[in-house]
Structure 1
Amino acid sequence: MSAPDSVSPDAKKELEEGESFTPRFGADGLIACVARAAEDGEILMVAHMNEEALRLTLETGEAHYWSRSRQALWRKGATSGQLQTVRDIRVDCDQDVLLITVEAGGDGGACHTGRRSCFYRRLIMTDRGAKLVFDA
């Protein structure tokens, strides 16, 4: 999503080049958040935050998310032990996506399937169309 055309040139410049953190939550009140591992940069998961989840993440230094399926706030790792300690937070140019670098506790995983990353399958094209294959 790019900055809206209705934003004044000065406001767009501040959004893209300024020092003010003004996260742009969507109409659903959420902002996308990509979590990557501090030790090697591997993408662990993509989740969403609402204002409360972002506030708690900033206050505690531990990742909090909003579960769209459960419609509930959740502290990552509260039940699995895979707490995510935040080491760095970045925001994209339009301030509508967050990238957080985390140290994952427990077994270091992030996926509810028990894998380290939620991105454990790759899309390949075959003569029968798209197919998912598991990474080794």
Structure 2
Amino acid sequence: MDLSKFFVKAPLIPVVCQDERSGEVLMLGYADEEALRLTMETGTAWFFSRSRQKLWNKGETSGNFIFVSRILSDCDDDTLIYMGTPKGPVCHTGNRTCFYTELWRKEGEEA
């Protein structure tokens, strides 16, 4: 499969990781073509670290992998969703998801 069409606009594209069981958004990372290919080959989530400027396999050091079963592309082919099952907490803080801090809530709305 030619993956180059996803990287026409930029060498890195955003990847949302979503729990396939609950639908919960787990994290956001960035992938280059090699990270996407490795994800498809291994079935675990791979990314390109913008801060370290290198590939990384989510869970490689912590053991908290995301086992990817499906990859979705948006209508513009410039953003992906890795649908999968996390093994343990996804966030480096130990939280289940990286999205645990509430920034704002409309007055009168409940959690």
Whether TM-score is above 0.5 comes out as yes
CA shift, 1:83, in A, is 1.0
- Select 1:74's aligned residue among 48, 56, 60: 56
TM-score (norm 2): 0.85
Equivalent position of 1:104 in the other structure: 86
Counterpart mapping for 1:15-94 below 5 A: 22-27=5-10, 29-94=11-76
- Give the conservation status (yes or no) of the 8 Å contact 1:90–1:99: yes
AA in 1 matched with 2:44: E
The runs of 5 or more residues in structure 1 that have no matched partner are 1-19, 126-135
Higher relative contact order (CA 8 A, sep 6+): 2
Q: Which has the larger radius of gyration?
A: 1
8 Å Cα contact 2:7/2:33 also seen in 1: no
Cα distance in structure 2, aligned partners of 1:25 and 1:80: 33
Q: What is the CA-CA distance between 1:100 and the residue it aligns to?
A: 1.1
- Give the total of aligned pairs: 104
SS of 2:38's equivalent in the other structure is: helix
Match of 2:94 among 94, 102, 114: 114
Unmatched runs of 5 consecutive residues or more in structure 2:
106-110
Q: Is the 8 A contact 2:66 2:86 kept in 1?
A: yes
User: What RMSD in Å do the two structures reach over aligned CA positions?
Assistant: 1.8
| Counterpart for residue 13 of structure 1 | none
Q: Does the 8 Å CA contact 1:45/1:110 hold for their aligned counterparts?
A: yes
Runs of 4+ deviating beyond 2 Å: 24-27
Q: Share of identical aligned residues, percent? A: 46
